[in-house]
Amino acid sequence: MSTSTQTITAENVIRLFPDVNPSLAGAHKVPQDDRDLAGYDEEQIRLMEEVCIVLDENDVPIGSASKKVCHLMKNIDEGLLHRAFSVFLFNSDNRLLLQQRASEKITFPDMWTNTCCSHPLGIPGETGSELSEAVQGVRRAAQRKLDQELGIPAKQVPLDDFRFLTRIHYKAPSDGKWGEHEIDYILIIKADVDHQANPNEVQDAKYVSQDELKSMFQDSSLKFTPWFKLICNTMLFEWWDHLDTDLDRYTNETQIRRM
């Protein structure tokens, strides 16, 4: 899961990827006869039109491209990088809400992962070049996607309750065609919420303790998203131990962790 060795700069990205729009807003329509998406779920194909924020390796926005363009391995292997977020939602008993991705998902179907993982979009309110502005953008995106994927009302996850910990830069294939190459903003929130999964996004959801999650990792019949395993193996359990004591010491990191 090493990142691209080529330096990712605005100049290189614009030269290599004609599909990248140097502005952030705008539609990226996926043609109905797109061969890359033939045979996939209709709603998931529509979501491939979403506008992701294309970055240089220092998390500075270059422009935008469709979710489809950003997730093709042929583009990832040439250095196309975008912004993402991962939410870890704990209830008042410090149990973590996991989701199992739907079979309809184009990338990483059927895999267990953290509460919600997605992308801020190249739209007003979710973008930002400065870190503080970008963090607020991913908080808004997280609130939006928790509702869309898990039916969690926005009022139960207020923006100011999302705690930003760090950013990780990682690269991971899903299959031969699709994958991820992201600078992923890690958010933790503690809240007791109502949730009802959108079956096109999530096939199962459940709360787990640390020991229960570790037992799941030992079950060879279960599959996990690479970013979730990466975060768990390096940072999550330490954060979990400090949820109610001194989590502040882990928040608001300015350096990007390269993984």
In the prediction, which pLDDT does 2 show?
A: 43
16-53 CB burial, b ≥16 within 10 A, e <16: ebebbbeebeeebebeeeeebbeeebeebbebbebbbb
CA distance 86 to 160: 16
For the chain, domain boundaries: 10-258
Q: Which two tokens stand for residue 203?
A: 């096939």
Q: Which two tokens stand for residue 99?
A: 């989701």
In the prediction, which pLDDT does 35 show?
A: 76
From the candidates 52, 70, 117, 232, which is the catalytic residue? 117
- Rounded-to-10 torsion of CA 210, 213, 217, 220: 150
**Active-site residue 182, yes or no?**
yes
In the prediction, which pLDDT does 33 show?
A: 60
In the prediction, which pLDDT does 39 show?
A: 78
From the candidates 50, 126, 180, 182, which is the catalytic residue? 182
What DSSP character marks residue 160? G
Q: Contact at 8 Å (CB) between 180 and 71?
A: yes
In the prediction, which pLDDT does 4 show?
A: 46
- Bridge partner list, 182: 82, 170
In the prediction, which pLDDT does 164 show?
A: 98
| CATH number of 10-258, picked from 3.30.70.20, 3.65.10.10, 3.90.79.10, 3.40.50.261 | 3.90.79.10
In the prediction, which pLDDT does 3 show?
A: 45
Q: What is the pLDDT along the chain (259 residues), one digit of tens a residue?
A: 444 456 777 778 877 887 787 776 555 565 556 777 877 778 887 777 889 999 999 999 998 998 989 999 999 999 999 999 999 999 999 999 999 999 999 889 999 999 999 999 988 899 999 999 999 999 999 999 999 999 999 999 999 999 999 999 999 887 788 999 999 999 999 999 999 999 999 999 999 999 999 999 999 999 999 999 999 999 999 999 999 999 999 999 999 999 8
In the prediction, which pLDDT does 258 show?
A: 94
In the prediction, which pLDDT does 42 show?
A: 84
